[in-house]
Amino acid sequence: MKTVIKTFPILILLSISSFITICAEFDIRDDAAFRKLISPDAKLEKLAGGMRFTEGPVWVNADGGFLIFSDIPANQLKKWSKSGSLTTFREPSNNANGNTVDRQGRLVTVEHSGRRVTLTENDGVVKTIVDSYNGKKFNSPNDVVVKSDGTIWFTDPPYGIKIEESELKTNFVFCYNPKNKELKVVASDFDRPNGLCFSPEEKLLYIADSGKPRHIRVFEVTPDNALKNGRVFCKIDKGGPDGIRCDSNGNIWSSAGDGVHIFAPDGKLIGKILCPETPSNLCFGGDDGKTLFITARTSLYAIKTLVTGAVK
Ligand code: MG
């Protein structure tokens, strides 16, 4: 049974800031499960706008906490602070897309035109972690996640290059081990591998396919960091999946054509947070880790939730 709750589609301008609060529209499929994740009075806030195509949000705990995200065509990494200020963190960004942090809190970024994975040291120096496989350049690394053992997992679809520029001719999912510099392919049968995230215990890895399948697959992660027993976890019924995140209860939050779709660990759709612009990616953050930040086309949005991400 589908319940659509529509509250007032009125924009309320807050007088003391430039934030815009939008009464959130939800499409709830499992009321009890949804209400454990989103409070009935939760509001979707527009934190910033006027950008070109936002992607790759990550919460960084340093300096009191801030959000880094990409504006890919603007060739910028942006920084949003709790005061509401939006600044440019890096330009040029080599058309950076996905961002995450490693277990030391350092920024790990994948770049479209740089065709590489980078690490930003605490002193601000940007280093290439890895940029090729068997001597062939990556396509345009799209999204990235770091496992607790330090391995870096990323997807490499060709969205940031002309298809004829692909040297690999395949859209791999990779796992890189900085300790022994081993780069291995963990999946090679995706059309367009995109967002990826681990379950709370890292026993499962979810990978979105934003190409023709428009679904999310889930794999068991073996102790030696291979994937096995892959299966389709869920289909996205509006648009396709891009960035995805797992919460501390094992639910999967996926960007989709009409908003953020939330799936239970068994793959059932719990509900949707409907957004005025199409989301590309999302992350948990904020002081208590329970704010969901959403990059959506020209803007950055946020909504309070009742859970934290799988990785705090
Ligand atoms: Mg992506």
How far is CA 274 from each of CA 11, 27, 44, 246, 278, rounded to the nearest angstrom?
15, 7, 9, 18, 9
Centre of ligand 1 to C-alpha 241, Å, is 8
Amino acid at 198: F
Centre of ligand 1 to C-alpha 108, Å, is 15
Q: Which residues surround ligand 1, an ion (CB under 5 A)?
A: 142-143, 194, 242
User: Which residue's structure tokens are 């906490």?
Assistant: 65
The predicted model scores a pTM of: 0.93
- Nearest to residue 259, comparing CAs of 207, 293, 296, 305? 296
User: DSSP H helical segments within 213-311, as ranges?
Assistant: none
Q: Which pLDDT tens digits describe the chain residue by residue (312 residues)?
A: 444 444 444 344 443 344 566 666 999 999 999 999 999 999 999 999 999 999 999 999 999 999 999 999 999 999 999 999 999 999 999 999 999 999 999 999 999 999 999 999 989 999 999 999 999 999 999 999 999 999 999 999 999 999 999 999 999 999 999 999 999 999 999 999 999 999 999 999 999 999 999 999 999 999 999 999 999 999 999 999 999 999 999 999 999 999 999 999 999 999 999 999 999 999 999 999 999 999 999 999 999 999 999 985
Length of the chain: 312
Q: From the centroid of its chain, how far is CA 121?
A: 21
Q: From the centroid of its chain, how far is CA 256?
A: 12
Task: Spell out the long-range contacts of 79-84 with Cβ–Cβ below 8 A and sequence spacing 24 or more.
Answer: 80/47, 80/48, 80/300, 82/286, 82/287, 84/17, 84/18, 84/19, 84/47
**Range 3-304 classified under CATH 3.30.1320.10:** no
Centre of ligand 1 to C-alpha 90, Å, is 19
Amino acid at 87: T
Which pair of tokens denotes residue 36? 């454990």
How confident is the model at residue 220, as a pLDDT? Answer: 98
Domain ranges of the chain: 3-304
Rounded Cα–Cα distance for residues 140 and 159 (Å): 7
User: Which residue's structure tokens are 């806030």?
Assistant: 45
Centre of ligand 1 to C-alpha 182, Å, is 24
User: Which residue's structure tokens are 């350049």?
Assistant: 137
Rounded Cα–Cα distance for residues 176 and 182 (Å): 6
How confident is the model at residue 23, as a pLDDT? Answer: 61
Which pair of tokens denotes residue 185? 């392919």
Centre of ligand 1 to C-alpha 13, Å, is 31
